[in-house]
Structure 1
Amino acid sequence: MTLQELAGIRKQFEYYRQMVDKTVLLLSQDELNLKLNEESNSVAMIMRHITGNLLSRFTNFFTEDGEKTWRNRDEEFADGIYDRHELITNWDKAWNVLFTTIDSIDEENIKCIIKIRNQDHTVAEAFYRQLAHYPYHIGQIIFIGKMIRNAEWQSLSIPRNKSNAYNQTKFDNPNSDTHFADDFLNK
């Protein structure tokens, strides 16, 4: 992995985080805690899980195993009514730990081996592992949001039946080396 590739990975994390941030804005306190059935998780529960995973994986990234002894993964999925403000505060804190870790990587430490559950990972493997894990859960959050909001749902990317128009704007402009997420970040 190069530092340039890492910058692209950072953008993708930013994009997926923003997808949840936008979904949370569309949901009430009660909706954040709504479980669609007994076996499902609420948006709040999934956010708690991602938060716990982010904090565990990226706190002391180079010096400690990514599965911290203080983490209680099962508690992240515990039934409960979780306060919106507390969820968002912890969510922001966890993502800041990730981005601080990414920003600390340089030409030397990018070559380090780190551990997750006592298994060796290159820095690249550790980031790709999480870049596969978080979008899985983020897709669940968005799906739950769509189920709850139904006709009131607001598209987070290319709206339904607008793909051709979106693509046309891309092909009407000169070739670009920008990241795909740039189109959606901070909109």
Structure 2
Amino acid sequence: MATEPIRLEVIVGSVRVGRFAPVVADWFLCRARAHEGFDVGTLDLAHIALPADLSDSAAAAAFRERVDAAEAFVVVTPEYNHGYPGALKNAIDSAKEQWRAKPVGFVSYGGLSGGLRATEQLRQVVAEVHMVSIRQTVSFHQARKRFGPDGETTDGAAIDGSVRLLDQLAWWAEALRSARAADPYPG
């Protein structure tokens, strides 16, 4: 029995000038769009003017609508000073019930740690907004050395990890879609 594709939003968490995020995000987006289970969109925080004081605005309302319509998320995040970007925390805090009972996966990048410390910290944050964190991650250690001029990588662990992440994300998204339809989440 065929179901509707899962609406996946890929959140690009870096807003820095000169950021490497587009390279990593574009690579992952190609893989996500090739996965037959997803209808993929992108929420690039560098192009969304969310108020830092969490006040309401047209941009915040539009962001919440996109989050509400999505059924799954992947966060593409760098690691800055052993943590994740402030703009990413602001985005998570800009919505509330729209995140609940939805799965989230992580693609991280950075220096020696590959952004894994940022991912582990984000797992605590997303749990607090009632999301389900996918176990499988993708991480790029010394990311700028892992991609060629064409935006592709030969990093076998990342390539394999992206397939596993997307498959696990699809499973959780479908399970949570069914659960929410049968019984609204009591968050």
Do they fold alike, i.e. is TM over 0.5?
no
Could you state the TM-score of these two structures normalised by the residue count of structure 1? Answer: 0.32
Could you state the TM-score of these two structures normalised by the residue count of structure 2? Answer: 0.32
- Higher RCO (CA-CA < 8 Å; seq separation 6+): 1
Which of the pair has more CA radius of gyration? 1
